[in-house]
Amino acid sequence: QVQLVESGGGLAQPGGSLRLSCVASRIIFRLYDMGWYRQAPGKQRELVASITSSGSTNYADSVKGRFTISRDNAKKTVYLQMNSLKPDDTAVYYCHCAPGDYWGKGTLVTVSS
């Protein structure tokens, strides 16, 4: 099956930046739509950003203007550049691809002073 491995999470201060990466294996990466989801304690998992196989992007209203999703098909990697981080961005961030509904194991992002 498809394997997705996230990295780049960690601790950031409010206003800081982090860049998440998700590397896919066993996949013809260019054919898949990719997305970043997040889940904070006590909250539902929500879509943060997505990018289609053709490069079309979509963002949650809460992150528009702050986060940027991109992909590098040669590296089979999808990125999430997170700027102007807020404490409300604290969550486990998951990589997702479709079709197939595959998920990574997640990477924790903590935004705190």
Strands 91-98 and 18-25: unpaired
Whether 2 has a pLDDT exceeding 90, the answer reads no
User: What pLDDT does residue 43 have?
Assistant: 96
The model's pLDDT over 22-72, given as tens digits with 9 standing for 90+, comes to: 999 998 999 999 999 999 999 999 999 999 999 999 999 999 999 999 999
Whether 102 has a pLDDT exceeding 90, the answer reads yes
Token representation of residue 10: 């960690």
Q: Where are the beta strands (DSSP E) in the chain?
A: 3-7, 10-12, 18-25, 33-39, 46-51, 57-59, 67-72, 77-82, 91-98, 102-103, 107-111
Percent of the chain past pLDDT 70, that is, above it, reads 100
Whether 91 has a pLDDT exceeding 90, the answer reads yes
User: What pLDDT does residue 1 have?
Assistant: 79
